[in-house]
Structure 1
Amino acid sequence: MGAATFTLTEQSKAENAVIAQGLKRQDANLLDELIVRYQHRLLRYLLYLTGNREVAEDLFQETWMRVLLRGAQYNGNARFDTWLFTIARNLLIDLRRKRTMASLDEMCESTEDERPFEVASDAPNPFDHYKTQEDGQRVTEALLTLDPLHREVLVLRFHEDLALDEIAAVTRAPLSTVKSRLYRGLAALKPRIAAVSEAPLTGGKAATLSRHSLRESRRGAV
């Protein structure tokens, strides 16, 4: 491990510890800082999961209320954003169950191949190719046609820069399943982009969400 990596890791651990201590004290100033820092990422994640701005905004508010009320449960061992996304995801699952809808895990109709899959490290993965070749709005529109589980993994990996083991923690799925979903999501994205590219862009869901590709849209607000 290089010195820079070691320093960054130690800095991250120290920051997590400060957040954990502040949440235990229910520090209002800290909560305000966290909301400012993570509000765009959290809302963006919920928009991609729900495809509905009104539902996403309701869950957004409820997530921060849960952080305030249950902040003492965060121990700092994981990144705060991983814990935050886990809360948001669990709230969505609870909402769907209350509405007698399937949970996220039940919304995947296809049988997943649980075999591990590793993206080659010495070559660009398919998503990198798409995001440099296609208009970002079309990428967003194509993403919204994917199976929710595959869409979620793509968003967490390429939009939020979570590591695969962190995605496994958020989704409570085995690492091999996360890798399978990532691979299948990338494989499904190309024909979906081709399909939406053949038709003119519409206002609908694509306009509701980001106008940039997953990686590029991180730079702007929702």
Structure 2
Amino acid sequence: MITDKQLIEGCRSGRREMLGLLVDRYKDDLYRFCRHLTLNAQDAEDLFQEVWVRVIRKLEKYDCERSFKAWLFQVTVNLHRDRYRRWKKLQHRFLGEASFQADFLNIRDSSPLTEEALLRNERNAELEQGLRALSKRYLAPLVLYYYNEFSYEEIAEMLGIPVGTVKSRLNQGKKLLQTSMQHVKEEA
């Protein structure tokens, strides 16, 4: 199996097929992470594309001693943070204090609707609604830790915060998510 380092060196030397292999290796994990960050399929696709454009531009500066996946996700977090700040400024300028409600894509499972599938779909919908209610400061650490299985140290490096803050935000995020999901259940 070709290592990330070999793929990156191939990309740096202009071999396009190596870039294709690199994208293929991380596309599912990266898209899933973008989807969790944005909670919107179209925004996730836009962010996904923007990340790869940035990665290609900055690949010469990448330090091959670091984990490529951690670096890729750090680029994603930074781009998402920049996009979110720009969006908030525009929203505030044009809408004032009014909030903006996005239409979120319902994730559907194509398997037959058994009782188990219905319960799973209901839990997924509750989880997605709970995630939507979370502040970005808690959402990113939760997604990086539980869905992408990064360590506290890797998350701290990606987000540019101390390890203790990562632990605190994970703990607080879990509590907020549980509370949010409890409210969703009570409303149903």
Scaled by the length of structure 1, what TM-score is found? 0.63
Q: Is 1:86 aligned to residue 74 of structure 2?
A: yes
Partner of 1:123: none
- Structure 1 gaps, min length 5: 1-10, 103-131, 201-222
Are the equivalent residues in 2 in contact too, given 1:59–1:92 (CA < 8 A)?
yes
2:37 aligns with 49
Q: Following the alignment from structure 2 to structure 1, what is the Cα–Cα distance between the partners of residues 14 and 22? A: 12
Matched, 1:159 2:147: yes
1:1-222 paired onto structure 2 within 5 Å:
15-99=3-87, 101=89, 135-200=123-188
Letter in 2 for 1:23: C
1:198, distance to aligned residue in structure 2 (A)? 2.8
The CA deviation at 1:84 is 0.8
Task: Name the CA shift for 1:98/1:193 in 2 (closer, same or farther; >3 Å).
Answer: closer
Equivalenced residues, count: 158
- Kindly tell me: are residues 137 and 37 of structure 1, through their superposed partners in 2, closer, same or farther at Cα, counting changes over 3 Å? farther
Give the superposition deviation at 1:48.
1.9
Q: Which amino acid aligns with 1:30?
A: M
More helix by share: 2
Contact 2:8 2:19 in 1 (8 A): no
CA contact (8 A) 2:145 2:152 kept: yes
Distance 1:101 1:26, change over 3 A: farther
Deviation at 1:52, TM superposition (A): 2.5
| Distance change >3 Å, CA 165–CA 23, structure 1 → 2 | farther
RCO comparison, higher one (Cα < 8 Å, 6+): 1
> What is the deviation of 1:168?
0.8
- Give the Cα–Cα distance (whole angstroms) in 2 for the partners of residues 79 and 194 of structure 1: 37
% identity of equivalent residues: 31
SS of corresponding position for 2:133: coil
Q: Give distance in 2, aligned partners of 1:38 and 1:55.
A: 18
Pairwise CA distance, 1:176:
1.0
Q: Using the TM superposition, give the Cα deviation of residue 58 of structure 1 relative to its aligned residue in structure 2, in angstroms.
A: 1.3
Q: Distance in 2 between matches of 1:79 and 1:93?
A: 21
Distance 1:17 1:184 in 2: 37
Residue type at the aligned position of 2:168 = S
Query: Cα RMSD over matched residues?
Result: 2.4
Cα distance, 1:94 vs structure 2: 2.5
Contact 2:10-2:18 within 8 A present in 1 as well: yes
**Matched letter for residue 81 of structure 1:** K
Deviations 1:68-91 (A, max 9, x none): 222112222221111111111222
Q: Using the alignment, how far apart are the partners of 1:57 and 1:30 within structure 2?
A: 22
Change (3 A) 1:97 1:195: closer
Give the residue type in structure 2 aligned to 1:191: T
